[in-house]
């Protein structure tokens, strides 16, 4: 250990450097979003609540090929979008809905009927987002 390193160690250079960063940001203008009233814009590729889609005639799109299950990485969803990419008929999608919760653990296990209800409820938004993202697929 050289004399320079020894001096840095005793003069607490790293601590002073960290405090300088803290002081610089302490007096900078703050950017605060008042969450329930204001929301930050989400990317068109944001992945949120899962939904099963139907065709225009009301028939469900899912053909039970089980490819979404085959690519599922874990027992808990990590919102990777693999199920969406594997689906040959664009049946399962991840919507832009981010404000959902469950009171118990079982509330977040979705059945096919629950996923179809999500698709029915958010179909207009899902279709618009798919249309906007189509040129990138």
pLDDT digits (tens, 9 = 90+) for 84-98: 999 999 999 999 998
Q: How far is CA 68 from CA 43, 86, 119, in A?
A: 23, 6, 16
**Listed range (6-10, 115-119, 131-135) with the worst mean pLDDT:** 6-10
Question: Which one, of 121, 125, 63, 57, lies nearest residue 92 by Cα?
Answer: 63
| Distance separating the N- and C-terminal Cα atoms of the chain | 56
pTM of the model: 0.71
Q: Above 80 in pLDDT, residue 75?
A: no
Q: What is the pLDDT of residue 117?
A: 95
More confident residue, 7 or 103: 103
| Partners of 50 in beta bridges | 94
Q: pLDDT (tens digit, 9 = 90+) per residue, 11-62?
A: 788 888 999 999 999 999 988 889 889 888 888 788 999 999 999 999 999 9
Question: Which one, of 118, 125, 91, 72, lies nearest residue 81 by Cα?
Answer: 72
Give me the residue label for tokens 């979008």: 81
Long-range contacts, stretch 100-105, CB < 8 angstroms, 24+ apart: 100/48, 100/49
Average pLDDT over residues 113-136: 91
Rama region for 47: left / alpha / beta (φ>0; ψ in -120 to 50; rest)? beta
Domains of the chain: 1-31 (no CATH), 50-136 (3.30.70.3270)
């Amino acid at each position: 250990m050289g004399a320079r390193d020894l001096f840095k160690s005793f003069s607490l250079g790293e601590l002073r450097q960290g405090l300088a960063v803290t002081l610089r940001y302490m007096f900078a203008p703050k950017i605060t979003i008042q969450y329930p009233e204001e929301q930050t814009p989400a990317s068109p590729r944001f992945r949120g609540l899962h939904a099963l889609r139907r065709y225009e005639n009301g028939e469900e799109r899912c053909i039970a090929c089980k490819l979404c299950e085959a690519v599922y990485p874990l027992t808990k969803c990590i919102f990777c979008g693999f199920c969406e990419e594997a689906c040959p008929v664009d049946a399962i999608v991840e919507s832009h809905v981010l404000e959902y919760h469950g009171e118990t653990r079982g509330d977040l296990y979705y059945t096919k009927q629950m996923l179809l209800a999500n698709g029915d409820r958010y179909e207009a938004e899902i279709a618009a987002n798919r249309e906007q993202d189509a040129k990138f697929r």
